[in-house]
Amino acid sequence: MTAAYSIYFFITLLKIPFIPATLLAMLLSMALGMLIERLAYRRLRAASRLSALITAIAVSLFLQTGYATLFSPDPRAFPVTAASFPVFHLGEVSLSSWTLITIAVAIAVMILLQLFVTRHKAGKAMLVVSEDVKGAYLMGIKVNSIISMTFAIGSALAAIAAALFIVSYPQITPYMGAMPGIKAFIAAVLGGIGLIPGAMLGGFLLGLIETMTRAYIPSSLSQLSEGVVFIVLILVLLLKPAGLLGKSEREKV
């Protein structure tokens, strides 16, 4: 959401073209993510899980309502839309090049992230920290800077997602991020938490499921399609809690 607003303001106020605006927004999001981590989360690292969760909710509320009071809660139209990209025709099917760009960017991001996590030293350190903070500390990993870096990467990727999103659905509101955020989480659970290809697969599947229900469900029940993703979540948790690609592990004490 904040990235969407930054892109919007870069384009409308500073007249920066779309792609540099997105890159700038990524930098801004990184800074914001690291700032939030420093101010809100770092002190709570030793605190209970409940405190951390409540803080996370409070931060998202703060950002949303903060933007709503600063820039008014009314939706704004985004100037760049998918219609401004050329359309391919393959027989009966017409395909916007923007759709292809979206898919390509998503796959590229996934591959880069996967490589970073499995090959790069910092990425591996990230996995170690998530496994065992104390152990990582003893192994000489700078836990704070690794977590800070994770927030930076996550925020930057969220900015890319925002750029992809607002061109497809060219409307910006302070609360636009809430639903995609939850769906992103569901996609991650569906594919298997902690697995980057799994998250990708989960995301694609979730999108397909949602679109299909919207298309094939009788219009009198059209409201139901909004709930379908949540039913998917509960089904996954019931049938395969580790996710589609995840291996189920027995919990050790």
Partner 1 sequence: MTKSKIVSYSINLAAALAVYLVFHFLFSSRIVSRTLIDLFTLCCVFATAAVSLNLSTGLLGELNLGHAGFMSVGAYTAALITLAAGRSGNVGILLLSLLAGGLTATLSALVIGIPVLRLRGDYLAITTLAFGEIVKVLMRSMKITGGGQPLTGIALDTTYTIGYWVLIITLIAIYTLIRSRHGRAIISIREDDIAAEACGVSVTKYKLFAFAFSAFFAGIAGGLYAHYAGVLEPSFFDYNQSVNFMVMVVFGGIGSLTGSVLSAFFLTLLPEFLRGIDAYRTLIYSVILILLMHYRPSGLLGQRELSQRGIARIFRRERLDAQPISGVGGGRAIERENIPASGSAERKADSALRDRTGASSGTPEEPLERRMKGRR
Q: Say if CB 67 and CB 162 are below 8 A apart.
A: no
94 binds partner 1 (CB under 8 A): no
For the CB of residue 60, give the shortest distance to partner 1 in the complex, in Å. Answer: 8
Residue choice 11, 167, 189, 195 for contact with partner 1 (CB under 8 A): 189
Residue choice 31, 107, 182, 212 for contact with partner 1 (CB under 8 A): 182
Compute the distance between CA of residue 13 and CA of residue 41 in angstroms, rounded to an integer.
33
For the CB of residue 152, give the shortest distance to partner 1 in the complex, in Å. Answer: 20
Cβ proximity to partner 1: between 93 and 221 the closer is 221
* Site for partner 1, residues 38 to 57, rule: CB under 8 A: 40, 43-44, 47-51, 53-55, 57
219 binds partner 1 (CB under 8 A): no
* Whole-Å CA distances, 77 to 12, 145, 164, 169: 11, 38, 15, 9
Residue choice 91, 223, 247, 250 for contact with partner 1 (CB under 8 A): 223
Provide the phi-psi class of 217: left if phi over 0, else alpha when psi is between -120 and 50, else beta.
beta
Cβ proximity to partner 1: between 11 and 190 the closer is 190
Any bridge partners for residue 77, and if so which? 171
* Residue labelled with tokens 């027995």: 250
* Residue labelled with tokens 């759709």: 99
Buried (b) or exposed (e) across 112-134, using 16+ Cβ within 10 A? ebeebbeeeeebebbebbeeebe
Residue choice 31, 127, 212, 230 for contact with partner 1 (CB under 8 A): 230
Name the residues that contact partner 1, by CB under 8 A. Answer: 40, 43-44, 47-51, 53-55, 57-59, 61-62, 64-66, 69, 178, 182, 185-186, 189, 220-224, 226-227, 230-231, 233-234, 237-238, 241, 253
